[in-house]
Structure 1
Amino acid sequence: MPSTWCLRLFLLLVFSANAAFSGTIVKTLPGFDGELPFKLETGYVRVGTSEMFYYFIESEGNPKEDPLLLWYSGGPGCSALNGLIYEIGPLAFNITEYEGGIPSLMYYPYAWTKTASILFVDAPVGTGFSFPLTPEGFATSDTLAAKEIYQFLRKWLMEHPQYLKPQLFVGADSYSGISATLVVQHVLDGNLDTNLTQLNLKGYILGCPEIDGKITANAKIVFTHRIGLISDELYNVILVKNFMLSFTLFFLVNNVIFHLVQATKVTCGGDYFDTTSENPACYENLQLINKCTKDLYKNNILEPKCTWASPESADEPARRLLEENAEGFILSPPRIPEFWCRNFNYALSYIWANDQSVRAALNIREGTVHDWKRCNKSLNYGKDVKSVLDYHRNFTNKGLQALVYNGDHDLIIPNLATQGWIGKLNLTIVNDWRPWLVDGQIAGYTIKYSENGYRLTYATVKARRLKKRITEEVDTHRKSPSVGNVITCLRGLFTIILSRESLHFRNSGN
């Protein structure tokens, strides 16, 4: 073990030997004008040999009665700050007036904290400001992450007993749909232990969640079919020379798939697309589909991809590097309005979270996380759970309440995947498919199910094409509520979905 690591480990152990919990109220933050208009607490909770960092924002409504929502982001490896700033929290960066230095923060009035207290946690360990005390602690997985998050939640609640009474919801997005499902199961199992304090679990909230890898992989191909990203004619030229294929690609934009998808079904396993098939024809068809979609911004195919900023725009590895290293952007304010893409928003988080004054305000322990990343792409993470569908089947017998939402132009976790696994639960429809509105406009569609006291509300969110100038759309596209999703937040959207009535899942009959 390197001597520097030994010294770091020694100092951390000495510093935190008697402090399994450490929380501090934060009243001001660099970049925000004046005191924060809500209660923010940050701190660490010791879980095994790891220190898990959290941001807790108390409900701006009635904290004694409003629910407590545990929330962490997808990836795996995306920081809770991603959820706080870009998804559901009461802060947002002011990207239209950025001129260098520490980005300025604005109060976001449509946050979920209007009707819920939210406990944001950097999970799994190695994410955000959470860190292990031993080198071995960097290795994690679906199952290990779920155990640590559950232990974190239980320990945090023991230190904050006033939040044991309100209803508890477990929430996550994107890939963390896997581990969040396991966390819900851990809470249910823990409540069976009479030696443990009961947690008032009411349900869970999942945004564009990964639930079953095969269902998701299959849905991606079906989605590209339905949305018109692949040509009807593409399959007809599979055996033609490469130059003929490139000519045919000219017509892709105005066509809809059929032949290619049908051919892919035949070569990849009938009605189900086995994307792991070793059939050469299957592999070739999947590669052709990939060529037609690789230059899309897959989180929202209506948004621009940031490839233009790459110095080697024709080089796929360079593009990948650009997406993974948003902090490498040189932000030129005059260019942002004209050539906006979502990574400009993300770049500000790197500048902000790596500033020493910000770290001091958040009470980050010195010498722990030297290079904060919005999403840690180098996380040592083992994906050891392929499906949690059976857990959700089990939940239908536990009287839980669930809210599941998905953007309708998401190519990472398509809405068809979410609707697919929900359909396999064989629930009874109590309110059939119908639109839901914001300011008189259709913002998406929703359907409600019920079975044995279990109730599930599913909602899609209609994506909108971004306007040319960011200054024209700042109010309606400030946040996207899931890493790896397409949900472009309409004004007041989540206040409506997560109003006190819907979060408590009261049956309004509408």
Structure 2
Amino acid sequence: MWWPSIVVVLLLLTSNLVASQSIINTLPGFTGELPFKLETGYIGVGELDEVQLFYYFIESERSPKDDPLVLWLNGGPGCSALSGLLFEIGPFTFNYANSSGNKPTLELNPYSWTNVANIIFVDAPVGTGFSYATTWEAYNVSDTSSAAQIYEFLRKWLLSHFMFLSNPLYIAGDSYSGIPIPIIVQEISNGNEVGHLPPLNLKGFMLGNPLTHRIFDLDARLKFAHRMALISDKLYESTKRNCKGEYIYPDPSNAKCIEDLQVVEECVTQICLAQVLEPNCATDSPKPNKFRELSVLGDNFIDIHTSTPEVPGPWCRNYNYRYSYIWANDKTVQQALHIREGTKTNWERCNQSLEYTENVITSIDYHRNLTKKDLRALVYSGDHDMAIPYVGTEEWIETLNLSIKDYWRPWFVNGQIAGYVTIFKEEKYSLTFTTIKGGGHTAPEYKPKECLAMIDRWFSYYFL
């Protein structure tokens, strides 16, 4: 029995955590009391708890004791989990019709994943959102060290929330989190195997529009552009032939390849990477290279203070993000969320100045290791996302050499095609890959109803 040992560990690890947890009943911009349980807090990780990771925890609105427990990370690296909460899968968002100037108002999101799951939204790595370090040295993290910190965070969080220890546990996130999440899942699995306490009831992981290989995924933009009729058959075949599959880092002496890529660039330069059918909006960089831009979403990192047009013009999704800056930097909001005074209180949706080392080129090897475990994986991609195209995701999944249990087929929501799914199997491991029809980067922001149906069915072992 591990229960007596866990009591000792609980006393050692959680003595400083209780004061860092707060139940939030009301929020500025929302009328009345919140109709769900929201908790915020900090958990220290590292030898001296020098890294303080901030989190938002929302209990399932269905059955907290039975529904899965999900730890959610946003991408970037450096994009706050509050962005995922507000714009993707959380229970409240902005009421754009009734928000103006410096007075954002909130409304409930009927398609929140908290309808079916308990979710911990974590600001990670350190320096993201409201997470901070007590020393300058502690801000220096990498893909692997940040993954280790998340594992430590989760163990400590569960020790102070032991009523959720038996809930099925899933690690989830999107975009850049496709790099650290497989590392985190392997850390948890290895920790369980060697007897780390508490034992975590790990069942699997979910990845949305995930970055998996820094070159592989971005090279796939050429094939995606061709499939979406953004470039011609002739240009596509010429570029493939002349560049020999190297589009992100082409040989600079290969004149024919460089010439083809310049024509490709002319064809896609005004395309919105996040969703190819939406308007392309102003960015920090006046002339971003859409095809070979190395940041996952280079055109989504905008100068938020100058992004709202002074004169009527085309609507832009990026303008919605302005409200998050206004709201999260409001002192009354920070007080309501119990943000510690004197710490990191200048909130950014995506912090581009992190001291972060991207030391894992690809997470494919971690995925390959996980196929030997008793785990479930869900990988979903908006099929209108050119930042990390679904065609590249589909190709790296094929490199895992899994058996196909269910071949590519449509799935439906309210009688309409919501996407296409393929299910892979390898002994105790299973991987479900699905596209989200019309979804962008990332899918729940663009197709919330379909994504809620997806996750609810997958949790219920019914897909799709």
SS at match of 1:418: helix
Q: What amino acid sits opposite 1:25 in the alignment?
A: I
Task: For 1:354 and 1:151, locate their aligned partners in 2 and report how far apart those are by CA, in whole Å.
Answer: 28
* Alignment partner of 1:316 is 2:290: no
Task: For 2:332 and 2:273, locate their aligned partners in 1 and report how far apart those are by CA, in whole Å.
Answer: 35
* Alignment partner of 1:262 is 2:237: yes
Task: For 1:327 and 1:116, locate their aligned partners in 2 and report how far apart those are by CA, in whole Å.
Answer: 35
Query: Quick check: 2:208–2:443 contact (8 Å CA) kept in 1?
Result: no
Cα gap change, 1:226 to 1:321, in 2 (>3 Å): closer
SS at match of 1:213: coil
Task: For 1:227 and 1:362, locate their aligned partners in 2 and report how far apart those are by CA, in whole Å.
Answer: 43
* Alignment partner of 1:325 is 2:323: no
* Alignment partner of 1:153 is 2:154: yes
Residue aligning to 2:23: 25
Residue aligning to 1:472: none
Cα gap change, 1:123 to 1:303, in 2 (>3 Å): same
Query: Quick check: 2:247–2:261 contact (8 Å CA) kept in 1?
Result: no
Q: Looking at CA atoms only, which structure, 1 or 2, has the larger radius of gyration? A: 1
Query: Quick check: 1:327–1:348 contact (8 Å CA) kept in 2?
Result: no
Residue aligning to 1:411: 386
Cα gap change, 1:304 to 1:405, in 2 (>3 Å): same
Residue aligning to 2:451: 494
Q: 1:314-463 maps to which residues of 2 (within 5 A)? A: 315-316=286-287, 323-330=301-308, 335=312, 339-463=314-438
Query: Quick check: 1:68–1:166 contact (8 Å CA) kept in 2?
Result: yes
* Alignment partner of 1:290 is 2:291: no
Residue aligning to 1:42: 40
Cα gap change, 1:31 to 1:363, in 2 (>3 Å): same
Displacement of 1:491 in angstroms is 5.6
Residue aligning to 2:249: 276
Q: What amino acid sits opposite 2:81 in the alignment?
A: A
Question: Cα RMSD (Å) of the superposition?
Answer: 2.4
Cα gap change, 1:70 to 1:172, in 2 (>3 Å): same
Residue aligning to 1:302: 277
Query: Quick check: 1:268–1:279 contact (8 Å CA) kept in 2?
Result: no
Query: Quick check: 1:208–1:407 contact (8 Å CA) kept in 2?
Result: yes
SS at match of 2:97: coil
Say how many residue pairs are matched: 438
Query: Quick check: 1:177–1:209 contact (8 Å CA) kept in 2?
Result: yes
Displacement of 1:73 in angstroms is 0.3
CA deviations over 1:101-145 (Å, ceiling 9, x no partner):
231000111111011000000011010000111111222221121
Displacement of 1:200 in angstroms is 0.4
So what's the TM-score if we normalise by structure 2?
A: 0.89
SS at match of 1:106: strand
SS at match of 2:353: coil
Q: Structure 1: 5+ residue runs without aligned partners? A: 1-16, 231-255, 465-479
Displacement of 1:195 in angstroms is 4.4
Cα gap change, 1:97 to 1:427, in 2 (>3 Å): same
Residue aligning to 1:80: 81
Residue aligning to 1:4: none
Residue aligning to 1:70: 71
> 20-29 or 119-128: which moved more?
20-29
Q: 1:152-171 maps to which residues of 2 (within 5 A)? A: 152-171=153-172
Displacement of 1:340 in angstroms is 1.5
Cα gap change, 1:94 to 1:426, in 2 (>3 Å): same
Displacement of 1:378 in angstroms is 1.5
Task: For 1:126 and 1:44, locate their aligned partners in 2 and report how far apart those are by CA, in whole Å.
Answer: 13
Query: Quick check: 1:444–1:459 contact (8 Å CA) kept in 2?
Result: yes
Displacement of 1:19 in angstroms is 3.0
Task: For 1:321 and 1:409, locate their aligned partners in 2 and report how far apart those are by CA, in whole Å.
Answer: 15
Task: For 1:495 and 1:279, locate their aligned partners in 2 and report how far apart those are by CA, in whole Å.
Answer: 45
Taking only the aligned residue pairs, the percentage that are identical comes to 46
Displacement of 1:496 in angstroms is 1.1
Displacement of 1:490 in angstroms is 3.5
Displacement of 1:62 in angstroms is 0.7
Q: Structure 2: 5+ residue runs without aligned partners? A: 1-13, 291-297
Query: Quick check: 1:409–1:486 contact (8 Å CA) kept in 2?
Result: no
Task: For 2:74 and 2:459, locate their aligned partners in 1 and report how far apart those are by CA, in whole Å.
Answer: 19
SS at match of 1:191: helix
Residue aligning to 1:126: 127
Q: What amino acid sits opposite 2:59 in the alignment?
A: E
Query: Quick check: 2:74–2:80 contact (8 Å CA) kept in 1?
Result: yes
Query: Quick check: 2:218–2:387 contact (8 Å CA) kept in 1?
Result: no
Query: Quick check: 1:406–1:487 contact (8 Å CA) kept in 2?
Result: no
Q: What amino acid sits opposite 2:401 in the alignment?
A: N
Query: Quick check: 2:443–2:451 contact (8 Å CA) kept in 1?
Result: no
Q: What amino acid sits opposite 1:454 in the alignment?
A: Y
CA deviations over 1:1-58 (Å, ceiling 9, x no partner):
xxxxxxxxxxxxxxxx973561100000000111111000000000121110000000
So what's the TM-score if we normalise by structure 1?
A: 0.81
Cα gap change, 1:283 to 1:139, in 2 (>3 Å): farther
Query: Quick check: 2:89–2:444 contact (8 Å CA) kept in 1?
Result: no
Displacement of 1:302 in angstroms is 0.7
Displacement of 1:162 in angstroms is 0.8
Q: What amino acid sits opposite 1:502 in the alignment?
A: W
